[in-house]
Structure 1
């Protein structure tokens, strides 16, 4: 058993497995809907996990068939095939998109150097994790953030052939498959263990260690079918068996679709079994589809699905850069609630660019190789005038793309306009000194009895909030959700910073549930008021958040809702940043006024209620 750096053996002929093109098509369609029509398919991101399973299965089956045929695996040939498949489209997308971003300018260029580095080294996921980037952050939608999954796959392609050699020493294919299933389960359990509800999930979503279960369980299927992959799976003449496989595969595929509808990128269920379940169901669907005579496989290989599936790699690469560029041209960075017209244009451009890339770049290199394509280009310079002109044009375009990419990296800003707005608000808050004895001025409400805990919206509103409510104690940070509120409030209470009235504005970054709100009330105790600021943001959970806050406040007479949503909605286009979430100073005054109105509601509570609980309210002067 040998794994060689090179081999004189002829390469193993690639096999076409029925249904896999269709599965790729459905997977990339789910991702497109998730990204371009937010809220329409909350769990469409599981399309990436479907890709992982297919990739693990195909790569392992290719390596296994090569080993079965020649008794060895050529690393050089394997990695060359991968380079031919991956690099042409990737280089084109990165350089063309970066050049377009240089022309457009603005937020679309933010941290482009870091993104290009991650793309060039197939380490995008770890570069972003190390630098604190977030897949779920809408403040600066990085143009190449979807390359995290390509990085995970490429890291797998580098390591897996080496590990496979050791695995082949295990005598039983069942035991080999069991070991891979165990490794897959370990990765899924590691994701579950590292996930913290309410916290940013980028580490567990991006991590190769936490998100390798799909690749590994796909590999397990290929190992389990060892020796049967060359000639195909045995065909059963029993119609009942064929029907049973088709039914089970169809049910599994329906299960994946149900998860795409039910899961959300902030749900604990997603990271604690949801993605792993999607991978397992994909394995079942693949097993049913690739059987000879499978009706499911033939249906998945239907014309449109097969067309999209064969171009799914290019579609995945192109769609997000195209989308972010369209939004940038239109002056918006609100990727959470884009205009439908922008999404439709993005789809049309993505399909057109993917087709051109597939025909003119990807297929020639994959079929002929880098050397032959290079030699053909050199011959074209010495051929007829039209061919020489074409070769010259291609060469000039390539040089221009590379040069403009370098220029974009050199001039790219390191923060977006929204991030700068929040940073300015944070600096203003840090520079202010809280008065030792705060006395309210006429026609104002004192902030000396108020503690405010919030997310980036409150942080952006902080300067106006401090001017409107002098002496208020604000504790606000980016990316907080309501799940973090009990812990934050408990810490403030221990440090003596929890005043008689507490404002909580944590509805922007994820769902809210009653149990968390009850924990908040328990921390505050009977001697403090609670003001819950509702949320305004183009995100699918906001309606549910606001309904939950309203319902909770209606059941707790001394808790009220500050209606930021209704206050800002008529002037959102005027007073909010391009993400339609964060206020500037004038928008911050609207935020503060919503809180002041809630303070007045509390101040107007019947005296018996106030006296009974001993509340110390900041009264209107």
Structure 2
């Protein structure tokens, strides 16, 4: 039984996700499209389970798993095979760890693979081509666990010595109570586990914390249904007015759209209620479309809507890797358009031809065509694609060029820190030795404290900034930079000019942390602030706001100088071509420009006074 208008719920989810990935700055909360899909899946699967039990008096677990396999796995494998050859159009960085990515995607463990490897849904460095399959992992985990739970409940109820009507009522209410309890538990777990996090990817990816949208949908299914509906809902269906339901449905979609504009991935409120609100609104949309189905018996769903809904799953699979590849070759709008142009026909081929063939059915679109005419060329192409995917996975690098650069920089830094530590220990052990740490004299030169941008150019920077020491680390925030500065200050190794290159990882309150750093910097030092640069950043991003705040400080503090990396980097966009827009991946021209900014800042700082005791 196909319900008219359900297609629009799927379309809302797909449009939300596509808009978010294509134009993230314009629609920052579009990731709720995944939760619309989750809620719809939870409703549909559970409603079909109820229909199966009511119609046959049992639930076949293996048959359920088989249907899920044929619906999910073939399109996924096909999308991987189609995408891999296209990676040769871009940098080898984009196939880093490709074999592991593919294994995680097909093994439905991408969510935990990303947690384990420090991945982020709002990608850092080079984005994983199949990071979006985290949602398939969560969905598959739901199917496995929920199917098993329903099978257990079914087995218990079937053994009870009660009439069929009572068994049906008990089955429905058991599902409702269990799904409501799991929805509440999972949402509370997400809210609680999000406390104190600066990167929310671990609670976003986890099946435990992000499964509640499925159970919101399942709870709705127990209260309504598809074929076998509850008595109260049946009464409501008979009373439904098409115009009123349509208006309510449009308002619900509008609320979902507005929520997508308001939510931020980096905001904790998203995890303490935002995603739950999206799931409840999605459930309301499902409820209203189910009502609209009965209220419009003489109106057919538009064929274009049915088509988009049919290919929505496959389109979700194709859109992200295609967009990642195309966006490195052309502008974002052009890449978005080409992604749709390429993705739609492949998605249609998958749904209308490949999936039926794998399931042992004759595709309806090929009813007048001999299957051998289709299966033979498809088999040959598939074998070829498998060969390309295998070769590419074997040859794929284990680290991106940026990660290699950061790794080498980190090793060299560790050696330097060991040397510095040894000097401090020797100085304290030999009081007569003239050394800054024991004499109290501030060393000349520059102490550079930075994040991954600084770490990436550390080798060049150390050779081209006179009398400098460098302490840099990936994902370093201002509060962590403060701790490094204070530790160096206490050990007497903090040099006269202190360069702080922090900010691309700026969190809320970074300006207050910077003021604390300024206050606790000892007299006798100058402070040079390197403004952060992120090619993707809008004016309201924390990194942009920090740069603006830093520029106001020299007027208040005479010992502060600005080294404006943000403005200089913006003049050299080619340095960031094919990167994440923050790091220049060890490119020599980037090293030169960054070192120039630091040296210019130090030169201007030399003409300013040191911090005084006043």
TM-score (norm 1): 0.80
2:102 match: 116
Shift of 1:505: 2.7
Match of 2:378 in 1: 394
Residue equivalent to 1:148:
134
Q: 1:288–1:294: 8 Å Cα contact kept in structure 2?
A: no
After the TM superposition, which residues 363-512 of structure 1 pair with which residues of structure 2 at under 5 Å, given as runs? 364-365=356-357, 370-372=359-361, 388=372, 390-432=374-416, 450-482=446-478, 485=481, 501-510=497-506, 512=508
2:607 is equivalent to residue 582 of structure 1: no
Instruction: Specify the alignment match of 2:219 in structure 1.
Output: 220
- Work out the CA distance in 1 between the residues paired with 2:507 and 2:268: 11
Q: Shift of residue 495 of structure 1?
A: 6.8
CA distance in 1, matches of 2:267, 2:523: 31
* Structure 2 Cα separation of the partners of residues 504 and 198 of structure 1: 24
Shift of residue 455, structure 1, vs aligned partner: 2.3
Contact 2:447 2:495 in 1 (8 A): yes
Cα distance in 2 between the residues matched to 1:520 and 1:561 = 15
Residue 530 of structure 2 corresponds to 533
Distance in structure 2 (CA, Å) of the matches to 1:495 and 1:61:
67
Instruction: Rate the CA distance shift 1:237–1:586 in 2: closer, same or farther, 3 A.
Output: closer
Cα 1:373/1:477, change in 2 over 3 Å: farther
d(CA) in 2 for partners of 1:93 and 1:30? Answer: 21
Q: CA deviation at 1:158?
A: 1.1
Aligned partners of 1:451 and 1:474 also within 8 Å: yes
Shift of 1:196: 5.8
Give the CA RMSD over aligned residues: 3.9
Once residues 550 and 234 of structure 1 are traced to their aligned partners in structure 2, the CA distance between those partners, rounded to angstroms, is 59
Shift of 1:563: 0.5
Instruction: Report the Cα offset of residue 428 of structure 1.
Output: 4.1
> Do the aligned residues in 2 keep the contact of 1:576 with 1:582 (CA within 8 Å)?
no
What secondary structure is seen at the aligned counterpart in 2 of 1:142? Answer: coil
Structure 1 unaligned segments of length 5 or more: list them: 1-14, 333-337, 440-445, 614-621
Shift of 1:320: 1.6
> In 1, Cα distance between the equivalents of 2:594 and 2:298?
57
- Partner residue, 1:573: 574
Query: Which of 541, 547, 550 is 1:549 aligned to?
Result: 547
Distance change (3 Å), C-alpha of 1:476 and 1:195: farther
On the 8 A contact 1:45/1:260 being kept in 2, the answer is yes
Deviations along 1:68-90, one digit per CA (max 9) or x if unpaired, are 22221001211111122112211
Give distance in 2, aligned partners of 1:189 and 1:278: 15
1:60 aligns with 2:57: no
**Residues 389 and 59 of structure 1: is their aligned pair in 2 closer, same or farther, counting only changes over 3 Å?**
closer
| Matched length | 573
Do the aligned residues in 1 keep the contact of 2:528 with 2:605 (CA within 8 Å)?
A: no
Q: Tell me if structure 2 keeps the 8 A contact 1:246–1:296.
A: no
Task: Say whether the 8 Å CA contact 2:22–2:332 is kept in structure 1.
Answer: no
Deviates more, 1:140-149 or 1:391-400: 391-400
**Counterpart-to-counterpart distance in 2, 1:215 and 1:315:** 21
> Is the alpha carbon distance of 1:279 and 1:494 closer, same or farther for their aligned partners in structure 2, counting shifts above 3 Å?
farther
- Superposed displacement of residue 189, structure 1: 2.6
Partner of 2:601: 598
State the alpha-carbon separation in 2 of the partners of residues 489 and 298 from structure 1.
Answer: 73
Q: Does 2:20 match 1:24?
A: no
Q: For residues 412-462 of structure 1, what are the alpha-carbon distances to aligned partners after superposition, in whole Å with 9 as ceiling and x for unaligned?
A: 1111222223334334434557676999xxxxxx98564433322111122
Answer whether contact 2:48 2:226 (CA < 8 A) is retained.
no
How many angstroms does 1:355 deviate by?
A: 2.1
Give the Cα separation in 2 of the matches to 1:300 and 1:534.
58
Distance of 2:491 and 2:298 partners within structure 1: 66
Question: Which residue pairs with 2:66 in the alignment?
Answer: 80
Q: How does 1:137-536 map to 2 (within 5 A)?
A: 137-166=123-152, 171=170, 176-195=175-194, 199-225=198-224, 229-230=228-229, 233-234=233-234, 236=236, 246-292=246-292, 301-327=301-327, 330=329, 338-362=331-355, 364-365=356-357, 370-372=359-361, 388=372, 390-432=374-416, 450-482=446-478, 485=481, 501-510=497-506, 512-513=508-509, 514-521=511-518, 524=521, 530-536=527-533
Shift of 1:565: 1.5
Distance verdict in 2 for CA 1:193–1:301, change over 3 Å: farther
The CA distance in 2 between the partners of 1:109 and 1:163, in whole Å, is: 39
Distance 1:496 1:187, change over 3 A: farther
Contact 2:182 2:215 survives alignment (8 Å): yes
Q: Distance in 2 between matches of 1:526 and 1:254?
A: 57
Q: Is contact 1:200–1:479 with CA below 8 Å preserved after alignment?
A: no
SS of the equivalent of 1:143 reads coil
Distance in structure 2 (CA, Å) of the matches to 1:256 and 1:468? 53
- For 1:474, what is the secondary structure of its paired residue? strand
The CA deviation string for residues 70-113 of structure 1, in whole angstroms up to 9 with x for no partner, is 22100121111112211221121112222443686722321111
C-alpha deviations, 1:24-45, integer Å up to 9, x for none? 1121112112222332211111
Matched residue, 1:10? none
Contact 1:448 1:470 in 2 (8 A): no
Distance 1:59 1:471, change over 3 A: farther
Q: Check the 8 A contact 1:438/1:471 in 2, yes or no.
A: no
Contact 1:422–1:456 (CA under 8 A) maintained in structure 2: yes
Quote how far apart the aligned CAs of 1:292 are: 4.1
Cα distance in 2 for residues equivalent to 1:216 and 1:229: 19
1:59 offset after TM fit, Å? 0.7
Q: 1:426 to 1:300 in 2, by over 3 A?
A: farther
Structure 2: give runs of 5+ residues left out of the alignment. 158-169, 424-433, 437-441
SS of aligned partner of 1:313: helix
1:241–1:391 distance in 2 versus 1, CA, 3 Å? closer
Query: Contact 1:454–1:506 at 8 Å: present in 2 too?
Result: yes
* C-alpha displacement of 1:23: 1.5
